[in-house]
């Protein structure tokens, strides 16, 4: 599964239909199958009726339920009409709202005609020409519809948003904005909202929200769309399901990022004859007088992420803290100053033999000696480079020339802007461009994480809102550093590290809530994240 733009999806879909002789009507039927399954699950009817309910076991899944299906004029509306028929077939009472009919001869019109032919069972109300006063007023629309069909609509258990698909890039307006607000009002009465492909009014390319009704669940087709992951996408889409409509992956654009999930992590099993040296020796160079916690978070996360040995390279005053708080690691004084100065260079050089990877940057401040970073980057060891190490690279262009394929840069958007010399415009494209320029791996943090080595691209949304806290990035640095130390190649270490870090954050949030969790809680949950991953890999 990949992450594509709306235009890429349209092009690959058209090419598939042209080359394989598949009609749009058939793709709509496949989409409706996934939508119907999602509706059943969303309404809690997946295992209904229960065997002890005293009702026939072949009773249709949605008996006694009702739905409002809002259909737009194009293909998205066509999916809605196809779903309306399937809902009716499962014994659901259906009210379909539209504004005019689809273009005659189109696949959407064919689905509409099937619903119209069963008008005694599927009630269709065409709002074209309706006297609504303000067509954008959802409450006025409710009052108008109540006059036509009573208050039953307000008791619907399901609202289906099939107004517009991912290619809508303008704000919702007129009666379509009114229909979106109508769905939101019905949802306030307890209805669940199911969006077809994308909530109408959410930009499929950027994730900008221009009046979308937030969905409880969104079913998209074949590939995820960028707007579902960026901007307001994750908040507005709710649970996001990608339904396969039978288009082979070969039709996806070569430059579309591959979407990764926690189940894609495949940590190797450990052998019984292994020892601590088998799993590498990580040297962290992190922390300062003002940022002791950054060093501690980096070290403790590396230990929890499986590094066989961890040596914490630190300023002198942090050594007692690290020895006391992370006794499983070794604390090595690199200098006596409150930040890493030039005196740390020779001690760091002496510490490099026997190490298998480096984690550089958290809390080291921009006052750290560039000469130290130059030594570490030119050591030939795999390294994850974060925080102030990235800022030093931005301030000292000569350091950029030392970057190579064994280095993983992990900037947030602000650090990325300093490296690029401009604000981030397109996260996926910018990550790829910087990776290609520097010949390294780039992991650009954000609500969706973009990873690239310049030729291969990954995208994921592993995090949760509770991870928006100080120190979260320091934990990620330790995790990726530990994976590098164990011999995992840099692109994979970056991707797996982000997924495991995100899963640990999700576990912490489920235990403590999104307000109260902090970065230390992510470290605490790393063992559970690793165990989940390894259990999934064995299935």
Domain of residue 136 covers 3-15+23-49+60-256
User: 37 a known binding residue?
Assistant: no
- Give the Cα separation of 202 and 170 in Å (integer): 9
If asked whether residues 334 and 391 sit together in one domain, one would say: yes
CA angle centred on 460, ends 457 and 466, rounded to 5°:
145
Question: Which distant-in-sequence residues (6+ apart) come within 8 Å of 485 by Cβ?
Answer: 279, 280, 281, 282, 302, 307, 308, 355, 356, 357, 382
pLDDT value of residue 109: 86
Residue 72 lies in a domain: yes
User: 166 a known binding residue?
Assistant: yes
User: 103 a known binding residue?
Assistant: no
463 or 57, which is more confident? 463
User: 165 a known binding residue?
Assistant: yes
User: 439 a known binding residue?
Assistant: no
User: 244 a known binding residue?
Assistant: no
Number of domains in the chain: 2
Q: Which of 518, 30, 535, 3 is nearest to 267 (CA)?
A: 535
- Give the Cα separation of 251 and 222 in Å (integer): 11
Q: In what order do the strands lie in the sheet with 407-409?
A: 258-259, 457-460, 449-452, 441-444, 407-409, 383-385, 357-360, 281-285, 309-315, 330-335
User: 78 a known binding residue?
Assistant: yes
158 or 113, which is more confident? 158
- Give the Cα separation of 35 and 160 in Å (integer): 10
Residue 343 lies in a domain: yes
If asked whether residues 240 and 294 sit together in one domain, one would say: no
Q: Looking at mean pLDDT, say which of 55-59, 261-265, 471-475 comes out highest.
A: 471-475
User: Does pLDDT of 268 surpass 60?
Assistant: yes
User: Does pLDDT of 110 surpass 60?
Assistant: yes
**Residue in the block written with tokens 């492909």:** 197
pLDDT tier at 98, thresholds 50, 70, 90: very high
Q: Are the CB atoms for 332 and 353 separated by under 8 Å?
A: no
User: Which tens digit of pLDDT belongs to each residue from 132-178?
Assistant: 888 888 888 888 888 887 777 778 999 999 999 887 888 899 999 99
**Residue in the block written with tokens 């339920």:** 65
User: 300 a known binding residue?
Assistant: no
pLDDT value of residue 190: 93
User: 370 a known binding residue?
Assistant: no
Q: Identify the sign of the CA torsion 364, 359, 334, 342.
A: negative
User: Does pLDDT of 47 surpass 80?
Assistant: no
User: 75 a known binding residue?
Assistant: yes
Average pLDDT taken over every residue of the chain: 93
Residue 272 lies in a domain: no
If asked whether residues 66 and 110 sit together in one domain, one would say: yes
| Strands 158-162 and 66-71, sheet pairing | parallel
- Give the Cα separation of 126 and 147 in Å (integer): 14
Mean pLDDT score, 95-114:
86
User: 170 a known binding residue?
Assistant: yes
If asked whether residues 156 and 70 sit together in one domain, one would say: yes
Q: Which of 438, 460, 113 is nearest to 260 (CA)?
A: 460
If asked whether residues 416 and 343 sit together in one domain, one would say: yes
Phi and psi at residue 195, to the nearest 5°: -100, 135
- Give the Cα separation of 275 and 438 in Å (integer): 36
User: 363 a known binding residue?
Assistant: yes
User: 529 a known binding residue?
Assistant: no
Mean pLDDT score, 474-501:
98
Residue 346 lies in a domain: yes
Residue 262 lies in a domain: no
User: 98 a known binding residue?
Assistant: no
Q: Which of 382, 454, 443, 383 is nearest to 416 (CA)?
A: 443
Kindly write down the DSSP assignment for every residue of 472-496, as one continuous string. HHHHHHHHHHHHHHTT--HHHHHHH
CA atoms within 13 A on the CB side of 48: 17
User: 220 a known binding residue?
Assistant: no
Residue 97 lies in a domain: yes
Question: Which distant-in-sequence residues (6+ apart) come within 8 Å of 441 by Cβ?
Answer: 405, 407, 408, 409, 435, 451, 452, 453, 490, 491, 494
pLDDT value of residue 228: 97
CB-based burial of residue 273 (10 Å sphere; 0-12 exposed, 13-18 middle, 19+ buried)? exposed
Q: Which of 332, 349, 324, 337 is nearest to 288 (CA)?
A: 337
If asked whether residues 426 and 292 sit together in one domain, one would say: yes
Mean pLDDT score, 475-484:
99
Question: Which distant-in-sequence residues (6+ apart) come within 8 Å of 273 by Cβ?
Answer: none
pLDDT value of residue 188: 93
If asked whether residues 182 and 306 sit together in one domain, one would say: no
DSSP code, position 31: H
Mean pLDDT score, 468-480:
98
User: 286 a known binding residue?
Assistant: no
User: Which tens digit of pLDDT belongs to each residue from 498-510?
Assistant: 999 999 999 999 9
User: 161 a known binding residue?
Assistant: yes
- 3 state DSSP class of 67: strand
User: Does pLDDT of 121 surpass 90?
Assistant: no
User: 135 a known binding residue?
Assistant: no
DSSP code, position 467: G
Please report, for residues 59, 253, 302, 376, 485, the alpha-carbon distance to residue 333 in angstroms, rounded to integers and kept in the order given. Answer: 72, 50, 19, 16, 21
Provide the Cα torsion 102, 104, 106, 109; round to 10°.
50
Residue 308 lies in a domain: yes
CB-based burial of residue 243 (10 Å sphere; 0-12 exposed, 13-18 middle, 19+ buried)? middle
pLDDT value of residue 539: 66
In which element (H, E) is residue 349 found? helix 344-351
The residue length of the chain stands at 539
Q: Which of 41-45, 221-225, 487-491 has the lowest mean pLDDT?
A: 41-45
pLDDT value of residue 58: 63
Domain boundary among 225, 256, 287: 256
479: tokens are 């995790």
**Residue in the block written with tokens 């739905």:** 67
If asked whether residues 334 and 194 sit together in one domain, one would say: no
Q: Which of 38-52, 189-203, 356-370, 426-440 has the lowest mean pLDDT?
A: 38-52
**Residue in the block written with tokens 């020796």:** 281
User: Does pLDDT of 54 surpass 90?
Assistant: no
The CATH number for 468's domain is 3.40.1190.20
Domain boundary among 256, 288, 312: 256
140: tokens are 């006025």
pLDDT value of residue 227: 95
If asked whether residues 354 and 454 sit together in one domain, one would say: yes
Mean pLDDT score, 482-494:
98
Residue 111 lies in a domain: yes
User: Does pLDDT of 231 surpass 80?
Assistant: yes
Beta bridge partners of 221: 243
The CATH number for 193's domain is 3.40.50.10260
CB-based burial of residue 105 (10 Å sphere; 0-12 exposed, 13-18 middle, 19+ buried)? exposed
If asked whether residues 251 and 289 sit together in one domain, one would say: no
If asked whether residues 293 and 383 sit together in one domain, one would say: yes
pLDDT value of residue 112: 85
User: 76 a known binding residue?
Assistant: yes
Q: Which of 172-186, 339-353, 430-444, 513-527 has the lowest mean pLDDT?
A: 172-186
User: 505 a known binding residue?
Assistant: no
Q: Which of 53, 3, 18, 412 is nearest to 228 (CA)?
A: 3
If asked whether residues 236 and 288 sit together in one domain, one would say: no
User: 410 a known binding residue?
Assistant: no
- pTM (whole model) above 0.95: no
Mean pLDDT score, 478-487:
99
| Strands 449-452 and 441-444, sheet pairing | antiparallel
Mean pLDDT score, 261-283:
94
User: Does pLDDT of 388 surpass 90?
Assistant: yes
């Amino acid at each position: 599964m990949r992450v594509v733009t709306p235009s890429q999806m349209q092009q690959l879909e058209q090419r598939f239909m042209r080359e394989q002789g598949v009609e749009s009507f058939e793709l709509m039927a496949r989409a409706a199958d996934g939508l119907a399954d999602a509706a059943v699950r969303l309404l809690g009817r997946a295992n209904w009726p229960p065997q002890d309910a005293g009702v026939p076991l072949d009773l249709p899944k949605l008996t006694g339920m009702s739905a409002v299906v809002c259909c737009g004029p194009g293909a998205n509306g066509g999916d809605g009409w196809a779903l309306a028929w399937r809902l009716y077939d499962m014994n659901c009472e259906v009210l379909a709202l539209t504004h005019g009919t689809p273009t005659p001869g189109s696949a959407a019109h064919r689905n509409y005609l099937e619903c119209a032919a069963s008008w005694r069972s599927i009630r269709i109300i065409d709002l074209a020409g309706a006297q609504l006063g303000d067509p954008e007023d959802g409450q006025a629309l409710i009052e108008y519809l109540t006059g036509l069909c009573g208050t039953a609509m307000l008791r619907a258990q399901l609202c289906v948003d099939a107004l517009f698909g991912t290619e809508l890039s303008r704000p919702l307006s007129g009666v379509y904005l009114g229909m979106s607000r109508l769905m939101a009002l019905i949802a306030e009465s307890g209805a669940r909202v199911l969006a077809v492909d994308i909530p109408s009014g959410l930009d499929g390319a950027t994730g900008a929200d221009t009046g979308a009704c937030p969905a409880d669940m969104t079913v998209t087709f074949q590939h995820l769309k960028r707007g579902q992951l960026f901007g307001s996408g994750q908040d507005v889409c709710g649970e996001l399901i990608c339904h396969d409509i039978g288009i082979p992956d070969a039709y996806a654009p070569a430059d579309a990022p591959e979407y990764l999930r926690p189940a894609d992590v495949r940590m190797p099993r450990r052998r019984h004859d292994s020892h601590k040296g088998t799993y590498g020796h990580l040297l962290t160079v992190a922390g300062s007088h003002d940022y002791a916690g950054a060093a501690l978070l980096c070290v403790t996360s590396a230990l929890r992420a499986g590094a066989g040995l961890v040596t914490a390279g630190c300023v002198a005053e942090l050594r007692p803290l690290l020895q006391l708080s992370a006794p499983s690691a070794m604390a090595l004084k690199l200098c006596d100053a409150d930040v890493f100065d030039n005196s740390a260079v020779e001690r760091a050089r002496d510490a490099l033999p026997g190490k298998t990877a480096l984690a550089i940057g958290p809390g080291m401040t921009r006052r750290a000696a560039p000469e130290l970073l130059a030594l570490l980057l030119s050591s030939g060891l795999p390294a994850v480079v974060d925080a102030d190490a990235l800022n030093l690279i931005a301030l000292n262009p000569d350091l950029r020339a030392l970057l190579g394929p064994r280095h993983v840069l992990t900037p947030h958007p602000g650090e990325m802007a300093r490296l690029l010399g401009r604000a981030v415009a397109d996260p996926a494209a910018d990550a790829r461009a910087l990776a290609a320029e520097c010949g390294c791996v780039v992991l650009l943090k954000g609500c969706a994480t973009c990873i690239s080595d310049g030729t291969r691209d990954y995208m994921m949304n592993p995090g949760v809102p509770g991870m928006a806290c100080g120190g979260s990035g320091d934990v990620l640095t330790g995790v990726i550093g530990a994976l590098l130390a164990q011999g995992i190649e840099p692109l994979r270490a970056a991707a797996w590290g982000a997924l495991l870090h995100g899963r640990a954050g999700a576990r912490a949030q489920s235990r403590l809530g999104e307000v109260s969790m902090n970065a230390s809680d992510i470290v605490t949950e790393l063992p559970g994240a690793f165990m989940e991953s390894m259990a999934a890999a064995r299935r």
